[in-house]
Structure 1
């Protein structure tokens, strides 16, 4: 038994001798309390013939040994208390004085035993603003235990323990008012002037990138768990900024038919992130772990951009992001031609290793921390399958268009639940094929068939995926579409 249950609460019951039935009900309730470890003082038990009842009542109400006074109020009790008549009136003079003098007192507990003719609780005026227990006939059985819990100090819904101070509140404002304003005024501005979309986009991405500095990590420890925890906390804190980005990409892709944005502006954002946060400045000391959070963040932003552009059928933007060159301000490799594949830093940064270690240490038991956190924090407007399909598409494009033997690795592929990919299956439609062929960087069906065959050969020779997952590898394009059926239907 804990300390709360060891103590026997001492309770005095104040009530009206309304009639024999009411007295019997009060005795029954008092017996229930006694049977449940409560010491009840009741006139029927503790005031023998010959005792001064006023003295008995006053002594028990005032006594410091009395922990609680239960005021069982029916119509008669409320009337006598308000009119100050009878024994109830005498008790009321004492109790009401104590109640009025200390508004925070909790010794005197009202119990509503009866409602009036209007269905309102019968309570004396001095108790009208106090919280009470409802033991009217229909609630008497169900609420009796609540009274018992109150007397023993064991509430049904205890107050939780005080948590640690949320340190994130001390950090930079996460509401990003400038980004919010751009999004909220976007529709009105585009309606007035569709050509303003490029200037609006540049303004948004400039402000968006400005906030990246607050997410820089400089690890002061070599402890793997501390690094993993700091990495996890950092990417979690990025979610509000990420959501503004997603909302803005949704806006600009929804209006592309009458206000097409220059895809290079979006690509420039990724070029700037790469140049500013993946490439150390000359003479700057760093370790590869310092870039892990941005490795995750860039991958997430890129996948959402692909997902949103496909969902809103802005296929030219998808193609621009996947098939045109990137220009990074890299003083160490200035002559190299870059592609979206350079945004995949897994060969240089151990992001997945540390996030997977975080999962292990926090009993999440995940094969890939990178994949797990990409899908576990999915934006409310999307489903996991959409993001996974975009991840797989990036992998396929890196293989068939860039012919990179170490292409984009789709960390989320193990979370794919269906054998269906909307973009591939719909290629049997000639009209759809014409709209999306730019994604595959082709001019003819024959070119696409050739690339699909190359995909088959590549994935046939190489099991592309997690080596620890038996018989679950990234599937080639032909797994989703028969090349002979491409553009075969009107």
Structure 2
């Protein structure tokens, strides 16, 4: 930390003004600042002009506070004209001898036009307003921080260029970004119209994604178009994650869960054909099918990150309305497994060398996992949690991203579940079962479905190892 040493230059305008400057000097000293001022440091017989100039040019003096009132300005400007005699007033010649950032104007008087009164040679410098007792108190911290070199606002470290700069794929940042910022301000300011701002933001995300849906036979290479559209939709995924992380820590769980479920249903609908199409191919909508899958995983990861376990329970246990164009018979709802995606088109786009990717969707999730706050390990943990919930809900889930787990991969949510106080989080997500009850559910599901090869999705181990289920709730 810098150790400031300050010289105060002022005019003896009146005894009241001198007492006020002395009070400021004493207050600075009390705040740990070495202050040089004539009241304390100029003795009888000393040359005032020599004293003043030596303080201004002294390299150990870090700042010069120039107490600018009408009288000081008058004397300083008179010295500029060659008729001034007040040797305690800094002249333009002395001012030019040192780095001008050393001088801090303290503004005490304001003219009729509302402008601060300062000497001509300093009128371009930004000062600190001390023109009223209220402004002194309001701006005192700013002055002390400036003297210590500890500003309230620190310029952040330069980050990496945004994806829309480094990628050849255009990303939708303008309208969605503007809507998100409006929503963010409404949330932070606790505005009553928050619901409207949230809906505007969500609508902008859905509208952009809908505009990417293919509505006629594409002229370009379909696999490459699907892959490009997945890249464009990634920024929408990111904005939705930002929304969940921000609002999920503020809004009541029931309301937040309802909002997320509504958004997921809208995204799921985008993976189906638009109602107005009479001629189509299901492969046209595989980018949106992947978008729904990836966004669901990121939603789970974001909710785990902020500890929204009640919301996670609702997201996993709710039924999702089937888009009208996909309904058959009397079935109107599906479980969360509706977000699973399978794309032969992505297989072709991601492996042009004819390699057989076990899960092209998981491969693309891995390639697009570039968020620092939600790294790929968080997404794999979300996938594993979805697998666990598929046993609880008696539905299906293929945890493709876990194909990229290391031999002894473990995930924080399940490791911590060894402790009783942390197992309660897992229990809240799954439905408040005891550890033994939950282990029994998993074992029964495994026994019933062990013919499915995907249950053992990792060489040298299986999902039970990664769930750490033998150790759940063993540390009281």
TM-score w.r.t. structure 2 length?
A: 0.57
Which residue of structure 2 aligns with residue 217 of structure 1? 214
Distance change in 2, residues 1:210/1:464 (3 Å):
same
Q: Go from structure 1 to structure 2 and tell me whether the alpha carbon gap of 1:366 and 1:444 turns closer, same or farther (over 3 Å shift).
A: closer
Match of 1:299 in 2: 293
Among 460, 467, 475, the alignment partner of 1:480 is 467
Structure-2 separation of matches of 1:272 and 1:401: 25
Instruction: Pick which of 231-240 and 190-199 moved more.
Output: 190-199
Give yes or no for contact 1:197–1:252 (8 Å, CA) kept in 2. no
Query: In the TM superposition, what is the alpha-carbon distance from 1:378 to its structure 2 partner?
Result: 0.8
Question: Counterpart of 1:489?
Answer: 475
The 1:196–1:489 alpha-carbon spacing in structure 2 relative to 1, beyond 3 Å, is farther
Equivalent position of 2:272 in the other structure? 278
TM-score by length of structure 1 reads: 0.55
Give me the whole-angstrom Cα distance separating, in 1, the residues matched to 2:421 and 2:199: 33
Q: Which residue of 2 aligns with 1:358?
A: 349
Partner of 1:414: 403
Query: Which residue number in structure 1 is paired with residue 203 of structure 2?
Result: 206
Other-structure match for 1:289: 283
Shift of the alpha carbon at 1:409?
Answer: 1.6
SS at match of 2:428: helix
Q: What is the aligned partner in structure 2 of residue 463 from structure 1?
A: 453
Q: Choose which of 177, 180, 199 in structure 2 pairs with 1:180.
A: 177
- Quickly say closer, same or farther: Cα 1:282–1:345, change in 2 above 3 A: farther
Equivalent of 1:254 in 222, 235, 249: 249
1:322 aligned onto 2:316: yes
Counterpart in the other structure of 2:236: 241
Q: Which residue of 2 aligns with 1:106?
A: none
C-alpha distance in 1, partners of 2:443/2:187?
A: 44
Query: How much does 1:312 deviate?
Result: 1.1
Relative to 1, partners in 2 of residues 1:207 and 1:478: Cα closer, same or farther, differing over 3 Å?
same
2:223–2:345 CA contact under 8 A, matched in 1? yes
1:425-436 equivalent positions in 2, closer than 5 A: 425-436=415-426
The gaps in structure 2 that reach 5 residues or longer are 1-166
Kept after mapping to 2: 8 A contact 1:463/1:473:
no
Matched, 1:386 2:378: yes
Q: How has the CA–CA distance of structure 1 residues 197 and 465 changed in structure 2, closer, same or farther, with 3 Å as cutoff?
A: farther
Q: Answer whether contact 1:395 1:410 (CA < 8 A) is retained.
A: yes
Once the two structures are superposed, what CA deviation does each residue of 1:164-193 show, in whole Å capped at 9, x if it has no partner? Answer: xx9966xxx82233x323433445433432
1:268 aligns with 262
Tell me: CA distance 1:473–1:279, structure 2 relative to 1, closer, same or farther (3 Å): farther
In the alignment, the residues of structure 1 paired with residue 276 and residue 415 of structure 2 have an alpha-carbon distance, to the nearest angstrom, of 49
Aligned length: 306
- Please give the root-mean-square deviation of Cα atoms over the aligned residues, in Å: 3.3
Distance change (3 Å), C-alpha of 1:248 and 1:371: same
Greater Rg, structure 1 or structure 2? 1
SS across alignment from 1:391: helix
* Residue number among 203, 227, 232 corresponding to 2:222 in the alignment: 227
Contact 2:346 2:360 in 1 (8 A): yes
Matches of residues 330-409 of structure 1 in structure 2 within 5 Å?
330=324, 332-333=327-328, 335-336=330-331, 337-346=333-342, 351=343, 353-361=344-352, 367-381=358-372, 382-398=374-390, 400-404=391-395, 407-409=396-398
Report the Cα distance in structure 1 between the residues aligned to 2:194 and 2:274, rounded to whole angstroms.
33
| Contact 1:372/1:412 (<8 A) preserved | yes
